[in-house]
């Protein structure tokens, strides 16, 4: 009996336990009972934030979901004991079944961000969909399907307001869509990388986390999941070996190809395209001195390449000329001391021979990156080129300087002789006006040189100035004050002097000026026999004067706004300063080109005034030329006729007192 008791008592206990479970299960509501209420589309409730939430469950969609054939309602809603239930069921936790996924999520960037500051971060429902309609990842309609993952992540990461408010950027999603991976996914590829392939699924970690697949030191392994052969070659390269040793300055896949913006090498916008590889991608590391200081890697490699035929042809648009990868390799870059390196002396014949067939070691044994400026390289090519440069630069300066001095002396003598032979003259500009013009001329060209030196610090005129930013700014502002002062004086001059008032009256535009401009063009093109006659100032001189008035006022206003940017930005708005800066720059370009193209023609390049119009220097113009150009200025011509005699004609070299204009 004791033996039978040992057998039957445990069996009875198991039976009673099973019976109680069955009885308990029979008491729990069936799915049909739950749907009796939850199939109603009007069934809603209010959450803690006062938002209306639907409680409707679509029975058909739930049957098709991954949960539909596995669980009943109460398997997830375990606290529901009866139908109808009296209290609101607790929120279902996916961790009841998916403990591993929940544990991984709790370590993720999303969960951490939400815990720290309540940031709106993705949870299970955001990525997998509503719990009642979750589909397997193999289903094309599932948010977790390979083809749909970019759109699933983009539901949050593609929203600019949401990303901006949480310290992120929606541009990442936009960039991925336009990348080689994004286009491949759109075209139906099941192999192209999507967000989860690089970032992971549940345990998404920040890039600065050493465990993250997108941590710099893990990127080669992450990319290697798809690009295994390339990753294997990269691991043996000098870059891969440096990363393996913990050198964070060495480039990985994303440093060269981009992160979300990865494009095919054939795309001209790709960072590894023929056009961009040398001047931007490789230059980020190999042009500066950081690698030289830290690891002894020579710098200035890109500038020496750009000075070579290869670099110049590349800048000219050639897509077949050699670039960095043509000689050093792509993923298999090795130091030239390595026998496997394409730049090892033993392999240079083959490397250069890809383009230059028939080359021998006599051609390839000298350095390609010739060091002209640095003076560090001691190879024969660099030394010889430096000597040639040191000889020719002084020689060029001496020879061309002597030529310029010779021609300047001849030009001066001939110009003075021609000036003396002009005969009687009429005063075109008074001494007062010439001083105004001289101050204007001086301040204008100082402003041009110092202003454009800021915008173009590598230009020849910036180099000639040789000033630091502080002194450049001081000189620019002093010249600006001179220009404004000259302008203010001119306003007083035209308002309070008789010759100033006459000047402004003669410069006022008239309808005749438009007809004169048209007639002059027709005459110059041979379409009209007679040329129009002008008064004291022709249409071109009037246009130039009023353009000068407008330009000076505009440059002064915008210059003062830039100078007092704090006050202006506080009084108006910061964008007013930005607008003033833009107007100041483009008006400066317009004014400079106008002087070179329009005013210099009138003063130097007009054949009628060669070698120059001397009025800016001594204020005089020959009577004969004045009659040709300003024949309608009867008042001035009458004064000349009255005051000029055979014995007392005004000569260019004589100092006459200024006449009324």
List all residues 6 or more positions away from 279 whose beta carbon is below 8 Å from its beta carbon: 302, 306, 314, 315
Tokens 């013009």 label which residue? 437
The rounded percent of the chain whose pLDDT value lies above 70 is: 90
The dihedral over CA atoms of 217, 218, 221, 224, expressed in degrees to the nearest 10, equals -90
Using the CB atoms, write b or e for 548-564: b if 16+ within 10 Å.
beebbebbbebbebbbe
Q: Which of 88-92, 97-101, 443-447 has the lowest mean pLDDT?
A: 88-92
Q: Which value, in Å, is the radius of gyration of the alpha carbons in the chain?
A: 42
CATH 2.40.50.1070 fits 422-643, yes or no: no
Long-range pairs for 349-355 at CB < 8 Å and ≥24 separation? Answer: 351/327, 352/327, 354/326, 355/322, 355/326
Count of other CB atoms within 10 angstroms of residue 57: 20
Please calculate the CA angle 10-13-15 and round it to the nearest 5 degrees: 110
* Sequential DSSP letters for 549-608: HHHHHHHHHHHHHHHTHHHHHHHS-HHHHHHHHHHHHHHHHHHHHHIIIIIHIIIII-GG
> Is pLDDT above 70 for 415?
yes
Query: Sign of torsion, CA 577 579 582 583?
Result: negative
The answer to whether 449 touches 461, Cβ cutoff 8 Å, is: yes
Phi and psi for 620 in degrees, rounded to 5? -115, 155
- The full DSSP string for 505-525 is HHHS--HHHHHHHHHHHHHHT
Q: Is 426 within 8 Å of 623 (Cβ atoms)?
A: yes
578 pLDDT band (50/70/90 cuts)? Answer: very high
Which H or E run contains 44? Answer: strand 44-46
Which two three-digit tokens encode residue 283?
Answer: 């230059």
Rounded Cα gap, residues 580 and 460, in angstroms = 26
Greatest CA span in the chain, whole angstroms? 164
Q: Please report which confidence band the pLDDT of residue 440 belongs to, taking 50, 70 and 90 as the band edges.
A: very high
Predicted local distance difference test score (pLDDT) of residue 397: 92
Q: How far apart are CA 74 and CA 3, in angstroms?
A: 42
Helix (H, G, I), strand (E, B) or coil at 426: strand
Task: Tell me how crowded residue 569 is: count the other CB atoms within 10 A of its CB.
Answer: 15
Please name the residues in contact with 585: beta carbons below 8 A apart, sequence gap of 6 or more: 455
Q: What is the pLDDT of residues 493-535, one digit of tens each?
A: 999 999 999 999 999 999 999 999 999 999 999 999 999 999 9
Contact 558, 587 (CB under 8 A): yes
Residue 572: φ, ψ to 5°? -105, -90
Contacts of 26 (CB under 8 A, 6+ apart): none
Condensed to tens digits (0 to 9), the pLDDT of residues 215-266 reads 999 999 999 999 999 999 999 999 999 999 999 999 999 999 999 999 999 8
Chain-centroid distance, C-alpha 400: 40
pLDDT of 321 > 60? The answer is yes
Half-sphere exposure of 379 (CA within 13 A, CB side): 12
E strands, 336-411, are: none
Q: How confident is the model at residue 545 (pLDDT cuts 50, 70, 90)?
A: very high
Q: Is the peptide bond prior to 335 cis by the omega test (within 30 degrees of 0)? A: no
Specify the pLDDT at position 648.
42
Mean pLDDT of 174-202: 92
Is the confidence at residue 316, as pLDDT, over 60?
yes
357 secondary structure, DSSP code: T
Which residue, chain included where needed, has tokens 């800048």? 315
> pLDDT confidence of 310, banded at 50, 70, 90?
confident
Measured in residues, the chain has a length of 661
In this predicted structure, what is the pLDDT of residue 653? 45
Residue ranges of the domains in the chain?
A: 2-43+55-85, 97-214, 422-643
Hunting for tokens 């009628």 — which residue is that?
608
pLDDT at 649: 45
Q: What is the DSSP letter of 205?
A: -
* Cα–Cα distance, 552 to 574 (Å, whole number): 24
- Please answer whether residues 168 and 133 qualify as being in contact, where contact means their C-beta atoms are separated by less than 8 angstroms: no
Residue 425 contacts residue 654 (beta carbons within 8 Å):
no
Helix axes 539-563, 574-594, angle to 10 degrees: 150
Q: With a threshold of 0.85, does the pTM exceed it? A: no
Of 643, 642, 654, 604, the residue nearest 422 (C-alpha): 654
| Cα–chain center distance at 466 | 28
Q: Is the dihedral of CA 465, 471, 477, 481 positive or negative?
A: negative
At residue 65, the pLDDT reads: 81
DSSP code of 278?
A: I
């Amino acid at each position: 009996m004791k033996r039978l008791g040992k057998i039957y008592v445990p069996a009875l206990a198991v039976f009673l336990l099973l019976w109680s479970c069955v009885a308990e299960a029979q008491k729990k509501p069936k799915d049909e009972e739950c749907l009796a209420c939850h199939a109603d589309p009007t069934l809603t409730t209010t959450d803690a934030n006062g938002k209306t939430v639907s409680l409707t469950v679509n029975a058909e969609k739930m049957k098709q979901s991954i949960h539909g054939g596995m669980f009943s309602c109460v398997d997830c809603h375990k606290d529901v004991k009866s139908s109808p239930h009296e209290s609101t069921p607790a929120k279902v936790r996916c961790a009841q079944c998916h403990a591993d996924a929940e544990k991984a999520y709790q370590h993720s960037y999303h969960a951490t961000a939400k815990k720290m500051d309540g940031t709106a971060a993705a949870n299970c429902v955001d990525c997998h969909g509503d719990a009642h309609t979750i589909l397997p990842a193999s289903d094309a309609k599932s948010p977790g399907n390979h083809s749909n993952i970019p759109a699933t992540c983009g539901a949050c990461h593609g929203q600019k307001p949401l990303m901006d408010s949480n310290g992120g950027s929606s541009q990442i999603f936009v960039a991925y869509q336009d990348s080689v991976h994004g286009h491949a996914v759109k075209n139906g590829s099941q192999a192209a990388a999507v967000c989860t392939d690089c970032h992971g699924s549940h345990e998404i970690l920040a890039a600065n986390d050493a465990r993250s697949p997108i941590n710099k030191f893990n990127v080669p392994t992450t990319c290697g999941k798809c690009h295994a052969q390339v990753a294997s070659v990269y691991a043996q390269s000098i870059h891969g070996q440096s990363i393996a040793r913990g050198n964070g300055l060495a480039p990985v896949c994303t440093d060269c190809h981009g992160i979300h913006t990865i494009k095919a090498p054939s795309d001209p916008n790709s960072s590894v395209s023929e056009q961009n590889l040398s001047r931007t991608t490789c230059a980020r590391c190999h042009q500066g001195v950081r690698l030289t200081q830290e690891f002894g890697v020579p710098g200035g490699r890109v500038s020496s390449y750009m000075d070579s035929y290869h670099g110049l042809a590349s800048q000219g648009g050639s897509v077949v000329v050699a670039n960095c990868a043509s000689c050093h390799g792509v993923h298999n870059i090795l130091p030239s001391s390595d026998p496997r390196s394409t730049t090892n002396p033993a392999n240079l014949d083959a490397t250069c021979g890809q383009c230059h067939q028939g080359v021998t070691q006599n051609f390839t044994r000298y350095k390609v990156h010739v060091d002209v400026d640095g003076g560090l390289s001691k190879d024969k090519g660099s030394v010889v080129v430096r000597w040639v440069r040191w000889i020719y630069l002084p020689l060029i300066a001496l020879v061309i300087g002597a030529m310029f001095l010779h021609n300047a002396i001849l030009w001066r003598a001939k110009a003075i002789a021609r000036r003396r032979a002009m005969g009687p003259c009429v005063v075109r500009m008074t001494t007062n006006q010439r001083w105004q013009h001289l101050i204007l001329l001086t301040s204008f060209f100082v402003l041009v040189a110092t202003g454009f030196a800021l915008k173009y610090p590598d230009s020849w005129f910036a180099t000639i100035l040789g000033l630091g930013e502080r002194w450049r700014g001081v000189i620019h502002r002093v010249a600006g004050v001179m220009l404004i002062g000259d302008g203010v004086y001119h306003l007083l001059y035209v308002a309070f002097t008789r010759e100033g008032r006459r000047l402004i009256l003669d410069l006022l535009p008239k309808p005749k000026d438009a007809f004169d401009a048209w007639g002059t063009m027709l005459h110059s093109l041979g379409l009209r026999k007679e040329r129009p006659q002008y008064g004291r100032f022709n249409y071109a001189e009037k246009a130039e004067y009023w353009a000068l008035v407008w330009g000076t006022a505009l440059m002064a206003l915008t210059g003062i706004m830039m100078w007092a940017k704090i006050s202006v930005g506080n009084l108006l708005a910061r964008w007013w300063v930005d607008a003033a800066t833009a107007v100041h720059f483009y008006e400066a370009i317009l004014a400079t080109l106008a002087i070179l193209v329009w005013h210099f023609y009138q003063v130097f390049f007009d054949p009628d005034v060669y070698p120059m119009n001397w009025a800016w220097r001594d204020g005089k113009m020959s009577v004969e030329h004045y009659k040709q150009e300003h024949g309608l200025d009867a008042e001035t011509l009458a004064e000349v006729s009255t005051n000029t005699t055979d014995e007392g004609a005004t000569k260019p070299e004589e100092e006459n007192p200024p006449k009324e204009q």
